[in-house]
Every structure is written in structure tokens, then in C-alpha cells.
Amino acid sequence: MMTRHTRSEDVALRRFAMCVMLCAAAAVPRAQTQDEFFSADALHEVRLTLSGRDWQALKDRPEDNTYYAADLQWKGIVLRNVGIRSRGHVTRNGLKPGLRVDMNRYLSEQRFLGLTAFTLDNAYNDVSLIRERLTMLLFNRMGIAAPRETHARLFINEEYAGVYAIIEQVDRAFIARILGDAEANVERGGYLFEYRWVRPYGFEYLGPDLEPYAQLFTPQTRDTDSMSALFEEIEELVRAINETPDDRFAEAVGARLDLPLFMRYLAVEDFLSETDGLVGEWGLHNFYLYRPQRDERARLIPWDKDTGFSAVDHPLDYHLLDNVLTRRAIAISELRQIYVETLIACATLASAREPESLDPRGWLEREVDRAAGSIRAAVGDDPVYPFSLEQFDESIEWLRDFARRRPAIVECALGANPAGTPSACAPGATDAREK
């Protein structure tokens, strides 16, 4: 038997239906994206919940890579049973542990916005906490694929655990983002290596045996493949760097390594006065090497850049001659030209004022202020920040000063002597390194 509704009942029914739909819409969290997760527009809040005993064990033994199960929460998204472990090299500590968060450590299909992992970097040695974020930003603006990075307040078991940098992991998901899914294929994708510092090294040839290269380049993909598949091409690259005659250097090495990209990478590091990168104080350090599946030419991906902005008058030829590859590459006019042009592009971008604005600040200084402004209050509350807020402010002021003065110093140095020292262009700035 059909029921007849009165007009008022119909209206009430419609309202009820509308209410149900609105409630349902409100209950379903809006789809979030990776871009929102790495957005620098706001300070994020990341929450990890795990057994108190596990958290204490992780802090007690920060040198261990033991994974612990935790629940991850960000903006209404909750992931159960993610794996977290201590991470870092010299920054590993039990007071404010750096963390790697793996979504699929225990649940093989689990992803977070398409990511399989990300890093929560304690930036323990960086008073400003933002050097790496600024460095990666400049790499990306210069067209060199680098991990995305922003900052978050981290809560462990609902207790504030400090300000951390959220860093995109350099892994298959990263490779898929920058080079497409085919490169990230599990079985036939490219080879991704993390450079592992064991001693000062600058691409000297280590002989035909593959073990010395395995000691330096740790496979992150295809890590159970045959040793020859993994390391023969690295051995050939290093041999070519060392043994190819000058007149064939660009061709022979360029067939195995994207040399123009390498020169741009080097220029960004040098512009930012990076002292622990390709030509830092201790030889090669802090990068990934990726050998694509469809292109024989390997490329570098920056990593762990928390030692930039070290000196406003940092010489452009600093340690350049100590590394076989940089020494031979810079001697080739076409490659040197790319290096110089990239330095000028960095300087131009860094000093670029906002169009139609009275703001005298250049792009880099504005980014310093934006990053520092977003985290300052959280740094003040950080229970395990190893410095004072005054030291934080001083460090930010250092970065501002670097951002203001470095472009002109680099341009001056390049104008006077493309491979010369900028100290002559920065009176009084010699050895001006942050204490």
C-alpha cells in the first residue's frame, strides 16, 4: 500500500535528507594531497602514537635501526601500524631523535597520500632549523629535482616532541614523481644509490674490483640484484672520469653522467656555500646517485643539506680542484659556462624582488622570513631544542644577511674572475662563518 505524504512531510523529508547528506559530506575528510603535506604555507602537526616502552627504547638506543609500530595522524588521516625508526648520521641522538616513517613496513599496501615513507628530521646541528628546507627549495627552483620539505610540530603520544622538518624520502615514489612510473618499476626500474661517507673521497679510481664501490654506494632499489648489474656501471663511470683523455672527457663521462645537470647541481651548492656536499670539507657527501632505466646517464639528487649558508664570501673554487670530476669538468669551457650561468641564475633569483611591491627583500630573504616565521613560536615551545630562542633569532639573522649579500658577492666574483674568490667583492666578509 502506498503512503501519501503531506506537503509538510515532504519538506521535512527533504530537509532530513539534506541534513544526512551534509553530515555525510562533513564526516568524509576532504581528499588531501602530497602537495598539501609538503606545503610551506603553514606549520603542520604530525602525531605519532606508539607504546611508551617502544618510544623509550628508541630514545635509549638511537644508534639502532630497529623499527617500532606506531599510528600516524595528520589532518584527519590516520594510518595504523606504520614503522618508525631512528635515523641520521651525526645528528642521531636520544633526546630529539630524527625519525624515518615507513608506511608499508608492516602493511604492504599501505600508503600515505601515495608516499611509502618520509623523514622527520631533527635538524639537530642547524640552529635555524631551516637551512635544508631553503637549500632544497633553491635546487627545485633551479630545475634540479630535490626532496620537498616543510616543518611540523611533532606530537608523540599527544606530547609535544619539538619542531621537525618533514622531508620527502628519496625512494621509488620520489623517482616516480620526477621521472615517471616506469622508472619506479620494482623489477625493471632504475638503480638508486645513497652515497655513504666512509672516508674523504673525490671520484678517484678504486680499481676494477667492485667491492670498493659497494662500500660507497648503497643501493636503495634493486638491492638484491647481481653485483655486476649494480656496480659495474659505477666502476666504469669512475674509470672514465679518471682515465679518459681531456679531449674525450665530455663525451665519455657525459655518456654515463648527466654532466650539465651535475654542473648546475655543483653551482647551487657553491652559491649556498654548502660545506658538506660535493666539494665540501670532507670530500663527497650527502647525495643520491640515480641511474635511470631508459637513459645510461646517471644523475645526482641532493640529500641532507643542513650545512649550507656557511659563509657569505665562500669562494667559488673552494675544494673544486680536490675532486677529480669537478676539476676536470670545470676545465671544459661548455661545462664551466653552465656552472657560471647557474650561479648567476641563483643570484638573480635570490635577489629578485616581488613584482610591483615596495618590499625591498629578495626572494631568498623572503623565503628565510617565511620559513622562520612559520616555526619561531613552535621553536620557543620546543622542549628539546638544543639552543635558545635568542640563538635561533641570531641564526635567522645570519641567513637573512647571507640572502641579502651573497647574490652580489657571487655576481661580482664572476664578473672579475669566473673561477676566482669572491672575498675581494665582499670587503670585511672574509672568514665570516657562523659561529
Q: Applying CB under 8 A, which residues contact another protein?
A: 51, 65, 67-69, 71, 79-81, 83, 106-110, 185-188, 209-211, 214-215, 218-219, 222-230
The minimum distance between CB 208 and another protein, in angstroms, equals 10
The minimum distance between CB 108 and another protein, in angstroms, equals 4
The minimum distance between CB 75 and another protein, in angstroms, equals 19
The minimum distance between CB 312 and another protein, in angstroms, equals 38
Distance CA 129, CA 112 (A): 25
Task: For another protein, give the closer residue by CB, 217 or 265.
Answer: 217
Residues 6+ apart with CB under 8 A from 224: none
The DSSP string of 314-351 is --TTTTGGGSHHHHHHHTSHHHHHHHHHHHHHHHHHHH
Q: Which amino acid belongs to residue 108?
A: S
Task: For another protein, give the closer residue by CB, 223 or 322.
Answer: 223
Task: For another protein, give the closer residue by CB, 192 or 330.
Answer: 192
Task: For another protein, give the closer residue by CB, 75 or 196.
Answer: 196
As to burial, measured by CB atoms within 10 angstroms (0-12 exposed, 13-18 middle, 19+ buried), residue 143 is exposed
As to burial, measured by CB atoms within 10 angstroms (0-12 exposed, 13-18 middle, 19+ buried), residue 20 is exposed
Contact 83, 99 (CB under 8 A): no
Contact 171, 282 (CB under 8 A): no
Maximum CA pair distance of the chain?
Answer: 97
The minimum distance between CB 71 and another protein, in angstroms, equals 8
Cell 638508486, residue?
192
As to burial, measured by CB atoms within 10 angstroms (0-12 exposed, 13-18 middle, 19+ buried), residue 261 is middle
Distance between first and last Cα of the chain: 87
Cell 633569532, residue?
393
Task: For another protein, give the closer residue by CB, 228 or 337.
Answer: 228
The minimum distance between CB 286 and another protein, in angstroms, equals 17
The minimum distance between CB 324 and another protein, in angstroms, equals 22
Task: For another protein, give the closer residue by CB, 181 or 334.
Answer: 181
Task: For another protein, give the closer residue by CB, 5 or 196.
Answer: 196
Distance CA 318, CA 290 (A): 26
Pairing of strands 149-156, 44-49: parallel
Rg for the chain, CA atoms, rounded: 25
The minimum distance between CB 55 and another protein, in angstroms, equals 13
Task: For another protein, give the closer residue by CB, 71 or 397.
Answer: 71
